[in-house]
Amino acid sequence: MIARVKKHLVPVIVLVFACAVVTPSSAQTFTKEVAPIFNKSCASCHHEGTVAPMSLMTYKDARPWARAIKERVLMRDMPPWHLDKTVGIRRYKNDISLSDRDIQTIVKWVDAGAPEGDLAAMPKPPTFASEDEWFTGRPDLLVTTNDFVMYANGPDWWIDQYADMTLAEDRWIKSMEIKPSNRRIVHHAVVYALEQNPPAGTPETGIQLNEYAVGKYGNVFAENTGMLLKAGTRLRFDMHYFAIGSEQHNRTTISFKFYPKGFVPKYQVRSVPIRNIPNDELEIPPNTVVRTDGYFRLQRNARIDSFQPHMHMRGRAMTLEAIHLNNTTEILSSVDHFNFNWHVNYIYADDAAPLLPAGTVLHMIGIHDNTAANPHNPDPTVWAGFGERSVDDMLQVWLDIVYLDDAEFSRLVEERKTKALIH
């Protein structure tokens, strides 16, 4: 009998010790532990004057949202970054995700009743320029859509708007930035180029140039790197609007800065879509989870600069693999909790961007979830197929690719090896 009691005592003692060890670090306060995380990972969107529903800059701003914050960060729903961080390439230039430790800190803070803490410990708040500024600098060309009128009440509206460019000759883009005139009703905007004579294989919907969402301030290409904008191109603005209780107007503008006339950058960035070609079909029966595959064989040596999955409301996951020449496969990136509301472009860190020789096959795996378990699913009882409407679905990954000749490719591979040795 005594022996049994003793046995039970052992775990109890361990527990007490565990608590004693954890207690000091679990006293998380807003000013000391939480505010630095919010300033780093939330404030760029959650500050006064943006479309985000609230500011998270001060204790007073953040306190009422504590429960919602805990939930969103635990689900890795906020900040919007949907990669499975346990596989593939780990380093991205625009990574805004929270570390497991950050999440723990926030959760402990909320669980402790979201205390404010010592005011003196509050870090200096970051400052943000006016949303009306062009963050990429004075533009060379502005292209604006016609006025769009959004109803006061009703469901979100996804719509294509078009605009003609006035560009007399081809120009090399150095940077791009998109701004809606009325940020309060625009969730996102993605701009596509519709060239007059597009190369074979270009989707009818155009080639992706850039995307806008709150907290995102344009794209600047690296030194001697750019994208070619052809004279006579039309632009398609893929817009996602939401209703805010009164009728609203919006025009969206994309700004371009170009390299000087006659200058041809050494590295051309091409936006390359991979779809499930050749059949390019999507069959998503009711109440099912469907996997669809697509392949793309690199005809030339390539560096892949970014990865951006595109699916609609039933999209749940997408993985990009490289099938190497020696027949081994490697996961490059995998999104495991896709969210159609966010068009996140995952930009590889300079020394992590995959360098792949000609002949490598890129393999895209898409998962669509047409069951009730998918919270974004508008209706699990209907069949869905490929289409432009948001209630239809899509499966496409956009890659920014730079093609490299053999000499340049070997040079970059060698450079990478040397760096890896030093580290």
Sites of contact with ligand HEC (CB under 6 A): 41-42, 44-46, 51-53, 56, 65, 68-69, 72-73, 78-80, 96, 98, 214-215, 341
- Strand ranges (E), 74-165: 141-144, 148-150, 157-164
DSSP-based three-state secondary structure for 315:
strand
Residue 100's CB is within 10 A of a number of other CB atoms, namely 8
Of 275 and 314, the one with the shorter C-beta distance to ligand HEC is 314
Residue 128's CB is within 10 A of a number of other CB atoms, namely 17
Of 40 and 324, the one with the shorter C-beta distance to ligand HEC is 40
Q: Shortest approach of ligand HEC to residue 141 CB, angstroms?
A: 26
Q: Shortest approach of ligand HEC to residue 240 CB, angstroms?
A: 11
Q: Is the peptide bond before 198 cis (omega within 30 degrees of 0)?
A: no
Of 70 and 171, the one with the shorter C-beta distance to ligand HEC is 70
Q: Shortest approach of ligand HEC to residue 325 CB, angstroms?
A: 38
Of 96 and 244, the one with the shorter C-beta distance to ligand HEC is 96
DSSP-based three-state secondary structure for 241:
strand
Q: Shortest approach of ligand HEC to residue 344 CB, angstroms?
A: 9
DSSP 140-198: SEEEEPPPEEE-SSSS-EEEEEEEE---SS-EEEEEEEEEES-GGGEEEEEEEEE-SSP
Of 329 and 341, the one with the shorter C-beta distance to ligand HEC is 341
Q: What is the rounded (10 degree) CA torsion for 50, 52, 56, 62? A: 140
Q: Which of 245, 53, 51 is nearest to 154 (CA)?
A: 245
Of 125 and 201, the one with the shorter C-beta distance to ligand HEC is 125
Alpha-carbon gap, residue 67 to 120, rounded angstroms: 25
Q: Shortest approach of ligand HEC to residue 345 CB, angstroms?
A: 12
Q: Shortest approach of ligand HEC to residue 353 CB, angstroms?
A: 22
Of 111 and 147, the one with the shorter C-beta distance to ligand HEC is 111
Q: Which of 172, 167, 179 is nearest to 233 (CA)?
A: 167
Q: Shortest approach of ligand HEC to residue 227 CB, angstroms?
A: 23
Residue type, 341: N
Of 80 and 117, the one with the shorter C-beta distance to ligand HEC is 80
Q: Shortest approach of ligand HEC to residue 102 CB, angstroms?
A: 7
Helix (H) or strand (E) segment spanning residue 252: strand 252-258
- In angstroms, the first-to-last Cα distance of the chain is 59
